[in-house]
Amino acid sequence: MNSPGAPSRGAVGTSSRDGRFAPSPSGPLHLGNLRTALLAWLFARSAGAGFLVRIEDLDPGRSRPEHEAGQLADLAALGLDWDAPLVRQSERRQLHRAALERLRADGRVYPCWCTRAEIREAASAAHGPLPEGAYRGTCRRLTAAERADRERSGRPPALRLDAGAAEVGFEDRLHGRVEQVVDDLVLWRNDDTPAYNLAVVVDDGDQRIGEIVRGDDLLETTPRQLLVQRLLDLPAPSYAHVPLVLGPDGSRLAKRHGAVTLADVQAVRGWEPADALAWMARSLGLAEDGERVTPALLEERFRPARIPREPTTFSG
């Protein structure tokens, strides 16, 4: 159910444009996260579609109930509503496991004992069609004796997808055609947790998400997810990867940049949530300087083709 004060339009719709916002409750949302949430909301609502919030709390070491509550409160403070039900990824483990077992039954899963250092070393020495930093399939090529030796070490393996160096392409609504050779991505982590690229695909498919709007720093993960969708016979949603908000040093906005959350800008600048919403609207070309706006007004004005393609800088 929604948090107190967060209006809902009821059950999710059946539009092919149903969207979602899926934060990780590992800390408060900053203005960049919230601007992406606003854009995801605008894409969905302007198309007459449903809008869901899914809490991606797979990491028990970093996820906190207080962060989830704060994130939902910030969305509600901006006037962004969502449709029932609120979903937590940690409650969907059976779905994730079933998808893993289906891929395993198809012969597409193998164990991987490589450490991050070993993966970096192999990637730095390799050449070929895979993108920079991609996993090079070291454990896929192990002999039976080498695999038995690693099993005796007692170190639990991650489980990877045998991607077959598949080349996957798609049309992004903002970036146009994107094509990439997919490496052998992790499906299940060695701490017995579903990996992001499996869980997000399973959940988007189960929730019938028709359009995914998220930051363009995730653009390169999309071919991986499309391959997993294809292997699980799930429909592929459309994608719009939107520009980020950067700090004054040109890196992605983060806590180190100062006053970057709703609470921060209220304490430091005296901004109410409406002021933060107005700043977001101006940065997207949806409001004039000094103009007060509401989500409903922005929904009327919103045209996806007019979204700025360049990132926005915010000085906390």
CA distance 64 to 28: 10
Flag whether 116 is marked binding.
no
Flag whether 92 is marked binding.
no
Flag whether 252 is marked binding.
no
Residue whose entry in the numeric block shows the structure tokens 């040109």: 250
Flag whether 105 is marked binding.
no
CA distance 205 to 210: 9
Q: What are the angstrom distances between the C-alpha of 248 and each of 64, 187, 193, 313?
A: 29, 36, 36, 6
Flag whether 17 is marked binding.
no
**SS3 state of residue 296:** helix
What is the CA angle 80-83-84, rounded to 5? Answer: 135
Surface-to-core class of residue 208, CB atoms within 10 Å of its CB (0-12 exposed, 13-18 middle, 19+ buried): middle
Max intra-chain CA distance, the chain: 70
Residue whose entry in the numeric block shows the structure tokens 């909301």: 41
Residue whose entry in the numeric block shows the structure tokens 């937590």: 88
Flag whether 54 is marked binding.
no
The gap between the terminal CA atoms of the chain, to the nearest Å, is 33
Flag whether 22 is marked binding.
yes
Flag whether 20 is marked binding.
yes
CA distance 45 to 296: 9
Token pair belonging to 127: 């050449």
Flag whether 4 is marked binding.
no
Residue whose entry in the numeric block shows the structure tokens 């719709």: 13
User: For the chain, how are helix, strand and coil distributed in percent, rounded to 5?
Assistant: 40, 15, 45
Flag whether 24 is marked binding.
yes
Flag whether 196 is marked binding.
yes
Flag whether 9 is marked binding.
no
Nearest by Cα to 211 from 236, 171, 233, 238: 238
Flag whether 255 is marked binding.
yes
Q: Which residues are annotated as a binding site for Zn(2+)?
A: 112, 114, 135, 139
Q: Which residues are annotated as a binding site for ATP?
A: 255
Q: Which residues are annotated as a binding site for L-glutamate?
A: 20-24, 56, 196, 214
Q: Which residues are annotated as a binding site?
A: 20-24, 56, 112, 114, 135, 139, 196, 214, 255
